[in-house]
Amino acid sequence: MKLLRFFLPRIEYILFAAIFWGIVANGPRLLNFDGDLPRHILTGNLILQTQRVATTDIFSFRTTGYPSFPHEWLAQVIFATLYNWLGLDGIILLTATIIVLTWGIVYRQAMQKSKSFFSALIFIVLGLAASQIHVLPRPHIFTYLLTAIWITLLESLDEQNTRSWWFLPVVMVLWVNLHGMFVLGMIILGIYLVGDFLENPSLSWFRTRKARSLLLGGGLALLATFLSPSGPKIWEAIASLGSNAYITSKIPEYQSPNFHQPETWPFIILLLLTILGLARRTQKLSWIQSLLIISFTGIALYTSRMIPICAIVLAPIAAQVVADWLREDYPRSRLFVIEENIYKINSASDGLVWLFALVFFAAVVLQSGRTLDAQGLGNRFDSRFFPVDAAAWLETHPQSGHMFNEFDWGGYLLLRLWPNQQIFMDGHTHIYGEALTREYEKVITQADGWEEILNKYDVKWVIIRDNTAFAKTLASLSGWETAYEDQTAVIFVRR
């Protein structure tokens, strides 16, 4: 019987296994959806080789020597290490593992709050579906995991248990070096402080053990944000990136979600069910939960990038309010009997070993050279989205002088051509700022003065998408000639 329990997986483990396999099988699409990953790999490799974290830019001839705040350096090292070991397969495996760990923690929170197996599962599925809008192999996936861990730590602090406060600065040291959204941790901590105070708004609150633990852990966590290669300046960098309306207007993930797109519908359903549960539930939410709902729903409605974070924060609370509503309105429902029976059977199982086995199996299969995606493409940078063949041509036909390149090809070109070539621009807009980004936009749109900008930086050759308006313009000018062309990219050089 014990052996059967060991090998029989729980329902939630089957769900997490399906999530893991879905991400791994979808690896090629994830890799080709975004152009930042190659630069992260290159930067991580340079850190490993030099044993130092650069605080100035070296990749663009326009920004050489500019301050570069390495707010993701530890994530970049992790990406580079896995890339050197397993190639892009390793990065996809890491992404899938982190997403499963994140939602495993959220599921545990939902179960503790709702005491309902069905409600927890339903809202984990909804939260996962909502978060898929921004699940990519980039450093922000560490913020997903650390947000779930951070909330778990804060939830564990009460009058009877105040010892876990010291985990807060430890987690923050990791967070500030993994991803720039460590500021979310401080925002969530502030919500817990304000919310707990509003439950008992008096001077006596400051004398409670929980308040002192939150203040002590929070204060040390704030100091921990200075423990990165950028020191206190990292706050300035994050603030400048988020406050520049022009830069954020050029990045789609910073825009408000378009609710006409099907990928946003799980988020809508999550919000609507939360509202329904709150409307029907008679017991008031705590101030902390109320502030979390208001804050993160507002941020997610403002920028689609925050929808996954909102889903992580909201799913356990939604599971709780809906479960409470159903218990109040339908106390004798047969649904609860069925749920209890299923939960008892499910709890008798403990097949966690199969999740580890699945990760190991996927790693072995990918390392053997086989593919796991339906199209059989494998985890690689696809020549339909990146200038793969053009970069290969450039490796055998190196061009002299400065280049102008497509914005979202910058990272890939760096991975293939650096240090022999520096780029005009890539997706790290926090380094370029508004003025240099506007220069890129002026050239790519052929606005007045675009040729002067190319002359200003003595650009000798251009690599851009084929069959675009800019490509057609260069092809028509006598000062430029086509040196290379394929179905994805075209390279022009000055005559």
Report d(CA 64, CA 333) in Å as an integer. 67
- Low-confidence stretches of the chain (pLDDT beneath 50): none
pLDDT at 6: 67
pLDDT in tens, 7-52: 678 888 889 999 999 999 988 888 887 788 999 999 999 999 999 9
Q: What is the model's pTM?
A: 0.92
For residue 352, what pLDDT is reported? 79
Alpha-carbon gap, residue 365 to 89, rounded angstroms: 10
Angstrom CA distances, 413 to 22, 402, 408, stand at: 29, 13, 10
Per-residue pLDDT, 400: 92
pLDDT at 3: 60
- What is the pLDDT, as a whole number, of residue 151? 96
pLDDT at 351: 76
Q: Terminal CA-to-CA distance of the chain, rounded, Å?
A: 79
Residue 160: its pLDDT value, please?
67
What pLDDT score does 149 carry?
A: 96
- Contact between 109 and 64 under an 8 Å Cβ cutoff? The reply is no
